[in-house]
């Protein structure tokens, strides 16, 4: 059996660790051959190449620029991507018959490539819905449903509807995502929309106390304080103005330490905030290499999630899994449309407040300070094992398509 995986993720080895490569390795365990198209951006100066590794073939397809570029260039790259993918499949995978096409949003411009393989090979198609575009851009005021931007919205909305229509199954990150897609896309058969959450290859991560102390000292993190960590993108979707207000209210907290690690369009805004405030119980750090970041999270006590309150779509950040993997309880500040807070609270491994309520954040911090972080972290880890293991993701995909 042959699987074709499409995404914008830039990876060169199946052994890298993220929600996609972890899932693909699960397919390999079942004697399934994996082919993937992993684009490489023009600005890297690299050319298209095939990377072969055991039963995995990765097509590093040269495309335009997507990350850290202007909206016009990014939009043009996304529009051109469809034909580039089709040409890549024709050129490099012409004699491979695919049984399954697995693809993840963003972007939504995989439609022509998916449709091409579906018609050519009679392949089944499964969409891993990680982003609801273009509505997310409307929420963040990058697109509008009216005016010139409205034309772009209409174009991408038609692409979105077409992608949904050609997908045999749509796997959503949570029940709130399922409900949203079904409600806002009445033409879709609701029977093909299901929960297939973010998942990782779960591994026990343990560290001796003396090793934790060494890492804390390395980053000048107080040994005696309870450390709240946020790691990931620092952009408009994270609601950085609200994060700043929350941090302002904690500058005099002598028992807690707040660590913000990441990069993004709002990093410099946060840096200005830190430069002006000079807080003694907080630190802002650039994104770290994956292994260093994972070790850093291991020495913290509470993981944090922030989502802008303007979102009407139910986001479900995958960084939740990295906190759970490290055995941390989670404090989530989000809009009311996502159910990530509900899952955290009902699962017994964290706290939630709306991301327009600074007093709510302060209350959650106080509760977290009193809580037994280690015990709640154990609950978080077990919840990860029970609900977000790639074994379950694989079974969901194969079972719903009846490919086993």
Q: How far apart are CA 198 and CA 320, in angstroms?
A: 9
Q: How far apart are CA 297 and CA 328, in angstroms?
A: 8
State residue 170's pLDDT score: 96
State residue 358's pLDDT score: 96
Do 140 and 249 lie in one domain? The reply is: no
Residue 135 has pLDDT above 90, yes or no: no
Residue 79 has pLDDT above 70, yes or no: yes
State the burial class of residue 54 (Cβ atoms within 10 Å of its Cβ: 0-12, 13-18, 19+): exposed
State residue 53's pLDDT score: 79
Count CB-CB contacts under 10 A for residue 268: 10
Query: Which two three-digit tokens encode residue 203?
Result: 């591994």
Average pLDDT over residues 189-197: 95
Q: How far apart are CA 359 and CA 336, in angstroms?
A: 16
Lowest mean pLDDT among 134-148, 185-199, 296-310: 134-148
pLDDT digits (tens, 9 = 90+) for 255-265: 999 999 999 88
Residue 96 has pLDDT above 70, yes or no: yes
Contact present, 110 and 6 (Cβ < 8 Å):
yes
Percent of the chain with pLDDT over 70: 99
Do 238 and 162 lie in one domain? The reply is: no
Q: Could you tell me the pLDDT band of residue 142, with boundaries at 50, 70 and 90?
A: confident
State residue 286's pLDDT score: 93
Contact present, 228 and 304 (Cβ < 8 Å):
yes
Question: Which residue's entry shows tokens 């972890």?
Answer: 22
Question: Which residue's entry shows tokens 């010139």?
Answer: 148
**In terms of residue numbers, what domain contains 376?**
209-387
Do 105 and 71 lie in one domain? The reply is: yes
State residue 186's pLDDT score: 94
CATH number of the domain where residue 35 is located = 3.40.50.2000
Do 139 and 196 lie in one domain? The reply is: yes
Residue 61 has pLDDT above 70, yes or no: yes
Lowest mean pLDDT among 118-127, 150-159, 248-257: 150-159
State residue 297's pLDDT score: 95
Q: Could you tell me the pLDDT band of residue 167, with boundaries at 50, 70 and 90?
A: very high
Residue 403 has pLDDT above 80, yes or no: no
State residue 260's pLDDT score: 96
Q: Could you tell me the pLDDT band of residue 67, with boundaries at 50, 70 and 90?
A: confident
Do 159 and 241 lie in one domain? The reply is: no
Q: Could you tell me the pLDDT band of residue 125, with boundaries at 50, 70 and 90?
A: very high
State residue 288's pLDDT score: 92
Average pLDDT over residues 324-333: 96
State residue 350's pLDDT score: 97
State the burial class of residue 382 (Cβ atoms within 10 Å of its Cβ: 0-12, 13-18, 19+): middle
Helix residue ranges, H only, 260-326: 267-277, 290-298, 319-325
Do 102 and 56 lie in one domain? The reply is: yes
Do 46 and 179 lie in one domain? The reply is: yes
Do 187 and 110 lie in one domain? The reply is: yes
State residue 68's pLDDT score: 67
Query: Which two three-digit tokens encode residue 140?
Result: 């963040």
Mean pLDDT of the chain, nearest integer: 92
State residue 149's pLDDT score: 82
Lowest mean pLDDT among 40-49, 154-163, 310-319, 366-375: 40-49
Cβ neighbors of 55 (< 8 A, separation 6 or more) are: 28, 32, 33, 34
User: How many domains does the chain divide into?
Assistant: 2
State how far the alpha carbon of 378 is from the alpha carbons of 43, 200, 317, 346, in Å: 43, 17, 20, 15
Q: How far apart are CA 48 and CA 176, in angstroms?
A: 39
Task: Give SS3 for 386.
Answer: helix
For 220, left (φ over 0), alpha (ψ -120 to 50), or beta?
left
State residue 333's pLDDT score: 97
Do 73 and 141 lie in one domain? The reply is: yes
Residue 76 has pLDDT above 90, yes or no: no
Residue 404 has pLDDT above 70, yes or no: no
Residue 310 has pLDDT above 90, yes or no: yes
Contact present, 266 and 274 (Cβ < 8 Å):
no
How do beta strands 330-334 and 350-354 pair? parallel
Helix (H) or strand (E) holding 256: strand 256-263
Do 31 and 45 lie in one domain? The reply is: yes
pLDDT digits (tens, 9 = 90+) for 360-393: 999 999 999 999 999 999 999 999 999 999 999 9
Average pLDDT over residues 319-344: 96
Lowest mean pLDDT among 42-56, 172-186, 215-229, 292-306: 42-56
Q: How far apart are CA 351 and CA 344, in angstroms?
A: 7
Do 221 and 285 lie in one domain? The reply is: yes
Do 177 and 247 lie in one domain? The reply is: no
């Amino acid at each position: 059996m042959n699987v074709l995986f499409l995404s914008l993720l830039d990876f060169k080895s199946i052994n890298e660790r993220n929600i996609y490569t972890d899932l693909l390795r699960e397919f390999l365990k079942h004697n399934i051959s994996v082919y993937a198209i992993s684009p490489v951006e023009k600005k890297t100066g690299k050319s298209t190449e095939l990377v072969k590794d055991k039963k995995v073939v990765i097509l590093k397809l040269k495309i335009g620029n997507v990350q850290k570029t202007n909206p016009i260039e990014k939009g043009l790259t996304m529009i051109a991507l469809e034909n580039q993918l089709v040409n890549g499949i024709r050129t490099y995978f012409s004699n491979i018959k695919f049984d399954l096409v697995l693809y993840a949003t963003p972007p939504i411009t995989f439609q022509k490539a998916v449709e091409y393989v579906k018609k050519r090979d009679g392949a089944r198609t499964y969409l891993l819905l990680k982003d609801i575009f273009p509505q997310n851009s409307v929420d963040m005021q990058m697109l509008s449903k009216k005016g010139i931007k409205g034309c772009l919205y209409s174009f991408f909305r038609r692409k979105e509807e077409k992608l949904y229509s050609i997908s045999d199954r749509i796997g959503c990150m949570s029940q709130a995502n399922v409900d949203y897609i079904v409600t806002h896309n009445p033409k879709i058969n609701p029977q093909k929309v299901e929960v297939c959450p973010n998942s990782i290859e779960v591994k026990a991560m343990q560290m001796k106390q003396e090793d934790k102390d060494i890492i804390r000292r390395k980053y000048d993190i107080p040994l005696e304080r309870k450390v709240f960590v946020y790691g990931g993108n620092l952009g408009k979707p994270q609601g950085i103005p609200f994060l700043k207000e929350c941090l302002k209210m904690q500058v005099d907290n002598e028992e807690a330490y707040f660590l913000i690690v990441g990069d993004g369009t709002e990093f410099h805004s946060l840096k200005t905030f830190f430069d002006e405030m000079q807080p003694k119980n907080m630190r802002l750090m650039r994104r770290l290499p994956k292994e260093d970041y994972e070790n850093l999270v291991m020495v913290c006590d509470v993981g944090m999630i922030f989502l802008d309150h303007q979102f009407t779509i139910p986001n479900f950040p995958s960084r939740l899994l990295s906190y759970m993997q490290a055995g941390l309880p989670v404090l989530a500040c989000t809009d009311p449309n996502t159910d990530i807070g509900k899952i955290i609270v009902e699962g017994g491994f964290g706290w939630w407040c709306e991301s327009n309520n600074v007093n709510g954040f302060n209350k959650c911090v106080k509760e977290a300070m009193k809580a037994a972080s280690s015990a709640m972290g154990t609950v978080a880890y077990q919840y990860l094992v029970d609900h977000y293991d790639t074994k379950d993701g694989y079974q969901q995909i194969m079972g719903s398509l009846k490919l086993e």
